[in-house]
Amino acid sequence: MLSDVTTPQDLDDRFRETLAALAAPRQRRDPARPVTDDTTLTGARALDLFDAQATSRQLDLAGRWLRSFGEGFYTIGSAGHEGNAAVAAALRATDPALLHYRSGAFYCVRAAQAAQPGPADGPEGADLPAGADLPAGADLPAGADQRGTGGGPVGTGWHDAAGEPTDATRPGALTTPHDADGDPDEAAQVGPIRPGDGYPPDDPEAPGPVADRPFSPAYAEAARDVLRGMAASTREPIAGGRHKVFGRADLAVIPTTSTIASHLPRAVGMGLAVERLRRLDTAGRRDGVRVGSGGEAAQAPWPPDAIVVCSFGDASVNHASATAAFNTAGWYDHTGLRIPVLFVCEDNGLGISVRSPKGWVETTLRSKPGVRYFSADGSDLPRAYEAAAEAAAWVRRHRRPAVLHLSTVRLMGHAGADAETAYRSPGEIAADLARDPLAATARLLVEAGLATGEELLARYDEIGWQVRRIAEEVLDEPKLTAPADVVAPLAPRRPVRVARAVADAAARAGGPGAGARAETFGGKPPELTGPLTLAQSINAALADGMLDHPQMAVFGEDVGAKGGVYGVTKGLRDRFGVARVFDTLLDETSILGLGLGSGLAGMLPVPEIQYLAYLHNAEDQLRGEAATMQFFSQGAFRNPMVVRVAGLAYQEGFGGHFHNDNSVAVLRDVPGLVIAVPARPDDAAPMLRTCLASAAVDGSVCVFLEPIALYHTRDLYTEGDGEWLAPYAEPGAWTGGHVPIGRARVYGVGSAEDVTIITFGNGVPMSLRAAATLADEGIGTRVVDLRWLAPLPVADVIREAAATGRVLVVDETRRSGGVGEGVIAALVDAGYVGAARRVAGVDSFVPLGPAARQVLVSEEAITEGARTLLAR
């Protein structure tokens, strides 16, 4: 016996030894009967699941083989976790799934479920319902190859005795047993004998059902998907060569790239949205499809009784994002709000090399309030199936969260480069091998009289041959070769359609929706109330957005009853109800997770982060989850969202770095993210309408950063002048006042010919006051309000800089990593040859009280900076 199981060859050899040692069954069992007397899992279904598990195992071997000669780029496999095939079998093909990266068997089963022409064996109709619709906008990418395969010759031969690929296993050298003429050895092929032909019932000599089972086209299709991901093929159906993920729109499998449970908060948000949409009346729907601004069809919901499933590893149970997700699910359950989510913790006892303390995971999962606990041994297929079916049925019936704790093992290490012997003893490795779920399923089938060990080994080899053949085929498929191709699905921008959506919203507000709008505003719409502050303008624009987008919801800390700590959401809950404007628990990860999940389910979420400093607790939900969804699904899935954030500095009387945070670098570094910073009331409303329309039309993820210090500002130059108030535009003026993403606003002071000040946020009123001072000195100034920090309005910046040849960048963020760096870089890249200077905040946190003035930009500094620039 081998003492170390560290290579694919070792694992393959052990599996063969196990099957060779299995005694022939005493009698054959009808595959329509349960595989054992204490389960509902039939023999036929168990045989199907063995095929899924074997396909997953062979994919792991294929991944190592591809990597051995530089054609594979991902070797984290599913070996030891194949018990999750039972979890998939217990669910429906229309239950949205966010899968852990060891979910090969689950994915194969889901592909087979979705391929079913009608209902098949499974708990409470667990398979794809006849006529199930594909989510709108969730079609497979153009060119995705969905070919299936039939039967073929047996044999694998991935490695030589040393565990290394042999010459015969290089591309183009298929290794099936052959006769002397070079033809496939007929004796080694799966025979065409039909089960029972010429044999009496229950004759132990009769061939089992496995002898007449062609390799499932659905499993072949799933294998092709996975292999394309490993090889970074552009024909991979979800990420298109951008990453190896488990995902496909028509399988309701949402791609996740996380290894540390950052997708769990999204799953909770999806559960919340699925249940909300289930209860929602027909408002905003046309023929079963919700229609957004400008007639854009939103993603159709999953079936009303769908549940959300998300899987993760035992080490991830300790991560803050997992804790947040469990806590949020339990918190809402405690309040009576239903969230149908099934968490699946696949516990192999290891996080790469770090062991989970014995009993810790079970203790942790059992202690989650409001989350029902189920458990099973993932190596015991019938028990895992029964536990998963019970858990899924409980969640589906009660619409409440539960966790299935599935014990597993890890075979072949964490990934291809992992040397397990550095941290595990031979005894530990051997103990895991003894619980190999694939071998356990084989023993089950033999003991149940459904197959012999020889038949199952032939089946294993048949599947291996087919996987190997597909692996060689995908090697010749194209890969991404141009930057434009890589970033194409990242953040699509269709400005004309966004502008049209705003125009359509205006037409509805001024036409058929005028009555409802007047009623919502109590008979006095905001355009008739006189000039508004920034906060009042945002409030009115949110109300108009809620009227135009039936699926829009506003939520966050204190946004409901209190109306926000600055009153920005005041009155919205009374107007639109607690289902659309609601308070959340105080956890930014969970708030963004709710937004991510509800957006994916077809809503238009507008979460609020109370202060910019609080966003840093949860920024990966934007970076790793929100911004990557369209990128890694080629637009098949999206999470439209407008995140309102109160931020920036200069807030008087309520200081300190938590309430005066001027750090936006982490946001500007996120590819595809839209960052809007309205400074004026008459910019705030149209910019918010643009963000809502862009989210609805393009699936954009927008951050609407609201300067706290300007919320209630009324004056600009002197007390009582009211120059920072502005009227709210009536719907007929929305189209003409539309603010496209990435367009600046320019003010001319004096001759406007001497210097250009480029700024944003609080810098706008300060720069205008500085420009007025300079005008008294005969200096003409252009003040450019960027309005958008991402994407920067580069064309406007270059044009206005060239107009004077002198640029002063006023950046209220920090000198290092601040917005000013991006502006200067844009000028340099464009070949600007004039003079340039920066006035920026000090690289410091903002202190309390008057000390803040020492590190922030002042009007005096702006004025002196302009004078210095002119003196050059």
DSSP string, 811-859: EEEESSSSHHHHHHHHHHHTT--SEEEEEEE-SS---SGGGGGGTS--H
The edge-to-edge listing of strands for the beta sheet with 581-583 is 581-583, 552-556, 604-609, 641-647, 701-707, 674-676, 788-790
Residue ranges of alpha helices (H) inside 21-141 are: 43-68, 84-89, 104-115
What does DSSP say about strands 341-347 and 402-407: parallel, antiparallel, or unpaired? parallel
Between the alpha carbon of residue 852 and those of residues 68, 561, 849, 857, the distances in Å are: 58, 32, 6, 10
Q: Per-residue pLDDT averaged across 778-799, rounded?
A: 97
Element spanning 755, H or E: strand 755-759
Q: Are strands 354-355 and 350-351 parallel, antiparallel or unpaired?
A: antiparallel
Q: What distance in Å separates the CA atoms of residue 16 and residue 464, rounded to the nearest whole number?
A: 13
pLDDT at residue 120 in the model: 42
Q: Confidence class of residue 749 from pLDDT cuts 50, 70 and 90? A: very high
Predicted local confidence at residue 301, as pLDDT = 65
Give the span between the Cα atoms of 291 and 727, in whole angstroms.
30
Q: Quick check: helix, strand or coil at residue 760?
A: coil
Structure tokens at 723: 């120059």
pLDDT given for residue 849 in this prediction: 87
DSSP state of 28: -
**What pLDDT, on the 0 to 100 scale, is given for residue 603?**
93
Q: At what angle do helices 381-398 and 43-68 cross, to 10 degrees?
A: 100
21-35: average pLDDT: 89
Tokens of 572: 């919205």
Helix (H) or strand (E) holding 429: helix 426-434
- The answer to whether 318 touches 350, Cβ cutoff 8 Å, is no
| Nearest residue to 610 (alpha-carbon basis) of 571, 580, 567 | 567
List the single range of 89-103, 290-304, 827-841 with lowest mean pLDDT. Answer: 290-304
pLDDT of residue 257: 79
User: What is d(CA 505, CA 697) in angstroms, rounded to the nearest whole number?
Assistant: 13
3-state secondary structure of 107: helix
Tell me the C-alpha distance between 45 and 25, whole Å. Answer: 19
d(CA 611, CA 706): 10
The residue to which tokens 């970033």 are assigned: 487
What pLDDT digit, counting tens, does each position of 232-259 carry? 999 999 999 999 999 999 999 999 976 6
Across the beta sheet with 253-254, the strand order is 253-254, 97-98, 308-313, 341-347, 402-407, 372-377
Q: Is pLDDT above 50 for 281?
A: no
The Cα 539–Cα 528 span in angstroms is 15
**CB 361, CB 398: distance < 8 Å:** no
Q: What is the DSSP pairing of strand 97-98 with strand 308-313?
A: parallel
- Residues 48-81 pLDDT 10s: 999 999 999 999 999 999 999 999 999 999 999 9
How many CA atoms does the CB half-sphere of 539 hold within 13 Å? 25
Long-range contact list for 841-847, CB < 8 A, 24+ apart? 841/649, 841/662, 841/811, 841/812, 841/813, 841/814, 841/815, 842/814, 842/815, 843/814, 843/815, 843/816, 844/814, 845/657, 846/649, 846/655, 846/656, 846/657, 846/660, 846/661, 846/662, 847/655, 847/656, 847/657
Q: Which amino acid is located at 630 in the chain?
A: Q
346 closest CA partner among 305, 307, 387 = 387
Q: What is the per-residue pLDDT across 187-236, written as a single tens digit (0 to 9) for each?
A: 333 332 233 333 444 555 555 566 567 889 999 999 999 999 999 999 99
- Cα–Cα distance between 252 and 110 in angstroms, integer? 9
Q: What are the distances in angstroms from CA 109 to CA 53, 104, 571, 700, 852?
A: 9, 9, 49, 33, 60
List strand residue ranges (DSSP E) for 378-468, in order: 402-407
Per-residue pLDDT at 768 exceeds 80: yes
More confident residue, 563 or 656: 563
Say whether pLDDT at 824 is over 60: yes
pLDDT tens profile 464-477: 999 999 999 999 99
- What residues contact residue 458 under an 8 Å CB cut-off, 6+ apart? 154, 188, 190, 210
Q: How many CB atoms lie within 10 A of CB 766?
A: 25
E-strand spans in 658-723?
674-676, 701-707
Res 133: pLDDT = 33
Q: Are strands 781-785 and 745-749 parallel, antiparallel or unpaired?
A: antiparallel
Q: Which residues contact 29 (CB under 8 A, 6 or more apart)?
A: 35, 43, 202, 448, 449, 450
Torsion angle of C-alpha atoms 177, 179, 184, 188, degrees rounded to 10 = -60
* 763-776 helix and 859-871 helix, angle to the nearest 10 degrees: 50
**pLDDT interval class at 91 (50, 70, 90):** very high
Contact assessment for residue 557 and residue 569, using Cβ atoms and an 8 Å cutoff: no
Give SS3 for 707: strand
What value does the mean pLDDT of the chain take?
86
Task: Tell me the H-state helices in 99-145.
Answer: 104-115
- For 400: left if phi > 0, alpha if psi spans -120 to 50, otherwise beta; the answer is beta
- Residue predicted with more confidence, 280 or 548: 548
How many Å apart are CA 776 and CA 538, to the nearest integer?
A: 34
What span, in angstroms and rounded, lies between the C-alpha atoms of 390 and 403? 11
* C-alpha pair distances (Å), 60 with each of 71, 155, 820: 14, 16, 48
pLDDT band at 24 (very low <50, low <70, confident <90, very high): confident
* Residue among 304, 397, 726, 334 at smallest CA distance from 531: 726
Q: Could you please report the per-residue DSSP string of 188-211? A: GSPP-PPTTTTS-TT-TTSPPGGG
Whether the pLDDT of residue 524 is over 70: the answer is yes
Where do we find the tokens 């045989």?
47
> What is the reported pLDDT for 563?
95
